Amino acid sequence: MTEKLKLTIKKPLSLNKQSQLFQALKPLHEQAKKEKHQDLQQQRQNEREAKQKKREEIKVALRWLYEQFPACFNPKDLKPLKLNIDKDLFSFLEKENSPSKVKLRDALTYFTSNVHYLKAIINGTHRYDLNGQQAEEITQEQKDFAQNKLEKILQSIKTKNQHKIKSSS
């Protein structure tokens, strides 16, 4: 363990001594500031890399869903998914090259948070199973939930765009 050194001054320092002390400590302060900045940059870089890795894993899991269940998962024709469809998908995860449960859930979250998917819920009448067959009706409560979520996403996008415009000015 490293101990912090304590400096105890019994009498007030003269201006000359204060200046000397400040000059002696200045390089240490600058070094600590520089190290803190480097640590912060490294932390940001690690966060960017982790986000990029997660995005790639989601893309891989989505590709698997598109290939295995084209009747249900079609990026050009989004259908509202049956509730708890993840439970149906878990039985297929034993296959080779299938994603893990966590990656599958991340991909489903991404898929179902898509603006076009939310619009499919709002405008649709039924949810669909893995074979593309109608499974259950979409309730008004579910449509309202999707509408609220869509509005929040659109507001978030609008806010981000406003911040980008302000910061580039």
- Nearest-angstrom CA–CA distance, 38 and 26: 18
11 versus 147: the higher-pLDDT residue is: 147
So what CATH class is 78-164? mainly alpha
- State residue 103's pLDDT score: 94
Q: Would you say 81 and 112 are in contact if contact means Cβ atoms under 8 Å apart?
A: yes
**What average pLDDT does the segment 24-43 reach?**
88
Encode pLDDT of 65-111 as tens digits: 999 999 999 989 999 999 999 999 998 888 778 899 999 999 999 99
- 84 φ/ψ sector (left φ>0, alpha ψ -120 to 50, else beta): left
Token pair 């067959």: residue: 133
pLDDT at position 24 over 80: yes
Domain boundaries, the chain: 78-164
34: left (phi over 0), alpha (psi -120 to 50) or beta: alpha
Which is more confidently placed, 96 or 60? 60
Report the C-alpha gap between 88 and 121 in whole angstroms: 20
- Identify the pLDDT of residue 168: 67
pLDDT in tens, 108-156: 999 999 999 999 999 999 999 999 999 999 999 999 999 999 999 999 9
